[in-house]
Structure formats: C-alpha cells, structure tokens
Chains A and B, each alone.
Chain A
C-alpha cells in the first residue's frame, strides 16, 4: 500500500501542536490526527511517530534524547559520565534520559541519535570474542 511517510506525519503533528491554543484543543486536534492515521490504515505507526516527534522537540531545544538500557537503575555517576560523552559527540548542551531496566547483563546500552553504544558486560565479552577469532 502506498503509505504516507512517518516524516510527513511528524511534520503534520508538529504544526498541529503549534496551532493548538489549549489542552482541550490539542486533544481534539490529536484525535483528528489519529483518525487520519486510522483512515490511512497506519494507526500502528503512532508509536514511531511520537518517538520521532519527541526526539525532534528535544533536538530543537538543543537536547539529545537518549535511551538507557540497564539491568537495574543506573547510578548517577554513570549517567553523568555517559552524558558528557554524548554531549561532546553530538554537540548538544544537555541529555534527556529514558531509562529502561530491561537488560539481563550488567552494564549499560545507550541508544541516541540512531546510534547504539553497547557497554554491557555481554557486549564487551562478545567484542572480546570476535577480536580473538579475528586474530
């Protein structure tokens, strides 16, 4: 099926949020937006659209949205270290965290700006393994 692209929808959603003068209006507009998706049979895209939309909003504020996967809550010092790494790598002032405790191995996996940084124990072991095999 010829689909309207996610980027189209994100743009539409943006202008719709910008136009809304109140929470009430926003909610009505957003219902219209969901109906549009439904009519185009693309309601399943909504999670992706919202994720992209959120990333863009933060980006416009000079912030980077990063998802942290870990086995339990990461320590503040860990996050500070990762944040300074991300800030210099992606030229941003600030990092907004989304923490997900869904990792089985110790350590952290970070997703930001479409890239993935694997600092988990499992990931490090995996890299170690391939480096031995290559040698």
Chain B
C-alpha cells in the first residue's frame, strides 16, 4: 500500500482507532475457575482472553503456565506442586508471560528453568526479568553470520564450521558422543568472550554432576550457566527449560555479547511435551506427537541470531541435540529439527565403535552458513577434505572386494586413511585454529604420506609440541594473519620440514 501525503492523516487516524479498541478489549483482568486438576495440569474455565504462554495464579499462590486453549477451556501446567489446587478454586490471569530472572550473577551457576539456584551456592541477583517466550519483530535486526564459533574439534571446524548466530544440530543415537561435542565446544570458548548456556533436559543427576565438575575443573564455569530440568522433576520443567535457556542467552546477546546455548536434548523435550499434551488431551498427530510440535522447536530455534551493529552486534548461537533411534533421522522430530536448523553434525554408532571419534559422518554432516565464517587459512586447508573423505569411504569399500588398484587410487586410499586418523580427537582436548590449520596443512601437503597410519596420532602430538616449543613463529603468524599468505606459509613449511627430519630420527 503506497501511502500518499493526504492519506497519511487518514492512515494514522485509522491505526489509532484500531489500537484504542484493541487495548480496551484486552485491559481487564479476568478470574476463572479450576474444573479439574491431575498430574500437574489444571483445566480452567472462564478465562477468555488468556494466551498460550501466559501465567495464571491459583488460590494458594501456585503459578500455572497456560498451554492449551479451547473455546471455553484453558489448560495450564502447574509449575511446582499441585496438591493444594482443588476443583472449584479461583484462578487469576496475571497478564504476564512466564519470565525468568536474568543477569551477570547467573554465570557459574546451576539453576532450574525458573532461574532459581539448585547448586546450594546462595541466591542469584536478577538484573531484569525476561519472558521465556519472546516473539521477535522480524528479520530487520539480523545480520548474516560471518564470525566463526570454533569448537576446537578438527572434524567440525574444518568440515562443518559453525558461525556465531547459527543453529547447528548435533544428531545421533545414544552414546555416540553428542554431549561430548557440546562440552568440548564450551571448553573451547575459554578467553573467547562467549557466554555458554548448557540446558540439560531429563538427564540423570549423577551425569550432570560429573559434567558440571568437568566444567569447573577446566575453568569453564567462569563463563558458563547450566539450566537443569532433571529427570526426576515434573514434565513442566523439561518443557520450559530450553525457552528459559534462550531467554538467558538473549539477555547477553542484547547486551552486544556473544552467547552459545546448547539444548541437550530436544528429543527429551518433545517427550515431555507429549506427556503434557496427553494429559491436556490434545489430539495426537504423527507418531503420537501433537501436530504443533513443529512450532514447539521452530519458535525456540528462531531465537538464535546475529544482530546487526546498530543493535549491538551480539549473537546467540544454538546447538540443539537430537537423539535418534537406530540411526533413524527420518522420524518426525529429527526431520522437523533438521528442517529448522542451518545444518547438522551427524554422529554414527558404527564409526564410534570403529574408534573413529568424534564419530562425525563427513558425507551427511553439513553447515549451510558456516563456510562464510571460516578463516581464510582454514578454508584453504580444508577445502577438499570433505570430498576426499567421502571418496575415500567409497574406494575403501571397493577395495574390500580385493580388486587390483592403480597407483592413483592407492594414493587416494592412503591419504584417506591418514585423513581419518588426523580427524580423530580425544575428549577435552580442543585445538586452536592455528594448531588445526598446521596439522591439516601437513596432511594435504603430503607430510604424512611417509608416516605409518598407526603413527599419525604420535606425529600430531609431536608436531604440536614442536610448534609450541621449538618454532613458535608459524603458530604466531597463523593466529595473527589467519590466512596462508606467503610469509605465513613459508614459516609453516620450514617448521614442517625441520620437524619431519626430527620425527624421522626419533622413529627410526
């Protein structure tokens, strides 16, 4: 609609009038009545204008979160205990979206999805209250992703690079190292000015306790917040946990900072939602998941963003985790989340048990926006890696039939074997961009061709040791220039040559 000068007046008048009547309609507070309450869910009648996500207050002060709206009925999950809520009691509409207290004080703490401490370390001061659900006004404040969020994991930073503000799914069966990748990524944010939020959904207390201890020992709690919805808590907690994590992340993003939020995992989140839905008796959709489960995860992941400079330039990167059953990514929840995210890191049980850890499937893993967020140096050394690896896998299965190989194929296979070795990486040992580039450069320029496959790991350790102690120029230049400019490449080549001689002597 093109607005002409003389129409401006009319347009504004029309909008003002409409706003007035809208405001009038929604200004009155309402009171409803509890019809029934069971399993932490209350059905309420008489609340006309309440919205999904709003808070209601029961007679004894319990808070309910409205989830389900029908013509005459409202369903609300009770946050906390429901034993005092009885049929016939009144329910007040609070006119507020469920909010969580946020602020710097959260850093280093373990909280429940309402932002309350559960680590016994005393109260947490909230600087403000953020709604756990927020609808962004559009894409105007966003900017394209252009800065890397380094995981410190070679297989990921080289082949599936993640950019700040991106949503990258980590997907795989149980025990394939999904959580391990998330935790390593947190460890790698040390001194990177990234606030990390780890949302734990339905994990055993002992498991989370070990994880928190690991973070503490590595000094990662100095910049990390843990939101815990434990397996023993009500489904309501699991349901709101990821939104609470997003709200905390947004607090930092809006202050112009970079934040990373990990949802571990959204499969359990969907299960909690299904439980609640069954109690609310929503009609189940495919695979017994309610039809709006798509929206459940899309509205969560939409909140990841890189803000443009006018809006402070902050970012919120999201790493959702999905646990598949027997590698089936075509099930409803995985398909959904894959369609929402900007790519996925695909982990495979088969690779994991063959000792290829992290068990990243290079063929299936992609990052749709991350490439533009890679440093030039990394881009140069990793360019063909994914393709080479995929080709190698193909050739490898081919050779099992014992066919004769020509020289070129044999070379490709040998290179592929070494590439696979190079990409193996222990837990809790993230590498810097410069370290990764050095190793990958060595690989693609043939420095590993003479090294036996079972010595590749030793070669890496020895090379890194050499670069840190004997010849520091290469790493320094790489860190500074971030590109393989002639001077940088020269320094790297001379270090690699010198090290090769040394390594040969040591291993002969």
Report which A residues bind B (CB closer than 8 A): 1-2, 4-5, 8-9, 11-12, 15, 17-23, 26-27, 30-31, 34, 36, 38-41, 43, 46-47, 50, 53-54, 57-58, 61, 63
A12 contacts across to B, CB distance below 8 A: 137-138, 140
Q: Which 10 A-B pairs have the closest CB atoms?
A: A12-B137, A20-B1, A34-B22, A46-B19, A2-B130, A54-B12, A8-B137, A11-B140, A12-B138, A57-B8
A1 pairs with B22, CB closer than 8 A: no
B26 pairs with A38, CB closer than 8 A: yes
A2 pairs with B18, CB closer than 8 A: no
A34-B19 in contact given A1-B130, A2-B130, A17-B1 (Cβ < 8 Å): yes
CA distance A31 to B133 in the complex (A): 20
Known A2-B254, A41-B96, A50-B15; 9 more pairs at CB < 8 Å? A2-B130, A5-B311, A11-B138, A11-B140, A12-B138, A12-B140, A18-B1, A61-B5, A61-B8
A5 contacts across to B, CB distance below 8 A: 311
B22 CB, nearest partner CB in chain A, Å? 5
Contact of B99 among A1, A31, A38, A50 (CB under 8 A): A1
Q: Is B23 an interface residue (CB 8 A)?
A: yes
Q: Is B250 an interface residue (CB 8 A)?
A: yes
Contact of A15 among B15, B23, B138, B251 (CB under 8 A): B138
B16 contacts across to A, CB distance below 8 A: 50
Q: Using C-beta atoms within 8 Å of the partner chain, give the interface range for chain B.
A: 35 or more
A17 pairs with B5, CB closer than 8 A: no
B51 contacts across to A, CB distance below 8 A: 38-39
B26 contacts across to A, CB distance below 8 A: 38, 43
Residue of A with least CB distance to B27: A43
* Interface positions of B from 95 to 152, Cβ below 8 Å from A: 95-97, 99, 102, 128-131, 133-138, 140-141
Residue of B with least CB distance to A63: B5
CA distance A2 to B11 in the complex (A): 30
Residue of A with least CB distance to B253: A2
A58-B130 in contact given A4-B136, A21-B1 (Cβ < 8 Å): no
Q: Is B53 an interface residue (CB 8 A)?
A: yes
A58 contacts across to B, CB distance below 8 A: 8
B409 CB, nearest partner CB in chain A, Å? 56
A8 pairs with B140, CB closer than 8 A: yes
A39-B251 in contact given A15-B138, A30-B18 (Cβ < 8 Å): no
B137 pairs with A26, CB closer than 8 A: no
- 10 A-B pairs in the complex with CB atoms less than 8 angstroms apart: A2-B102, A17-B1, A19-B1, A31-B22, A36-B135, A38-B51, A40-B135, A50-B15, A58-B8, A61-B5
